[in-house]
Homo-oligomer: A and B are copies of this chain.
Amino acid sequence: MKLTILGCYAATPRTFTNPTSQVLEIRNHHFLIDCAEATQVQLRKNKVRFTQINHIFISHLHGDHFYGLIGLISSFTLLNRTGDLHVYGPKGIKEIILLQLRYANSYTGYQLFFHELESTASEVIFEDEKVVVKTIPLKHRVYTNGYLFQEKPAERKLDPDAVRKYKIDICYFQNIKNGKDVTLEDGTVIPNEKLSFDPPAPKSYAFCSDTVFTEDYLDIITGVDVLYHESTFLESEAHLSERTMHCTAKQAAEIALKARAKQLILGHFSTRYDSIEHFREEAMAIFPATDLADDGKIFEF
């Protein structure tokens, strides 16, 4: 998995900081998560090819998370995109985008599918042979979802030495990769674990932004490998945090601890602070495996 942070600051775009948007590369997918104003410029700056983006997940309909969507959809048309585009987001997103395309009299030249969400329970919204994506219902000022991206277990790896030793015919290889034992012509059964290695453990990534501090979604993210969690404020601004339904760095760390996450990435920083390092310090006191997002930063796990 590779995570490219296009923007990770709260509220308004500024000269040197961008609101929320990120690209998760997972098993050959390039999932765009949130799409704040000028995300298309951030994609260009970070050299993410537009044609790689086929699925866009929008957490909620606040501007700092989706005002760049209409521009990206329009630019795809201007650049003669042909591939399907799937947009997942709160109910209303389709109406907002189509209204603007209608007034511009410029409908997309490609198939545009909206998957509108309104459930307050977690649901599987995308699944193929390699990846599952589930919603993480969050609590914010408007209907909001985080997203959990889970790799499915990969095929087992063939052990070339063992295969040669037991003179296994090529026609059995796919069965071995699928975990099956092999029965030789003389009736001998070679157990699968003698012929193959475990595949790399499937990884998972949870994106949680924006939300007030609550344990309601702990079950869904428990055991996640990497948790990206909003931490708009420090504890010194806990009053603002509660009022605006956001989290502090300390609260994000508590969530990571309780969810037994392996790694925490903080983001959605208020631009009021002189340095985002304060967020790391506050969180690490509770959850040491804490890292900070920043625009243009890449995480590989």
User: Which chain A residues have a beta carbon within 8 Å of chain B's beta carbons?
Assistant: 11-15, 37-38, 40-41, 44-45, 61-63, 67-68, 70-71, 74-75, 78-79, 90, 92, 95-96, 99-100, 103-106, 141-142
| Residues A61 and B104 in contact, CB atoms below 8 Å apart | yes
- Taken together, the copies of this chain in the complex come to 2
Question: Which residues on B sit within 8 Å (CB–CB) of A14?
Answer: 41, 44
CA A75 to CA B103, docked complex, whole Å = 24
Question: Which residues on B sit within 8 Å (CB–CB) of A99?
Answer: 95-96, 99
CA A38 to CA B37, docked complex, whole Å = 6
CA A256 to CA B101, docked complex, whole Å = 33
CA A70 to CA B61, docked complex, whole Å = 12
CA A105 to CA B141, docked complex, whole Å = 8
A71 smallest CB distance to B (angstroms): 4
- The chain B residue sitting closest to A11, CB to CB, is B78
- Are A12 and B104 also in contact (CB < 8 A) when A41-B38, A99-B99 are? no
- The chain B residue sitting closest to A75, CB to CB, is B12
CA A202 to CA B127, docked complex, whole Å = 66
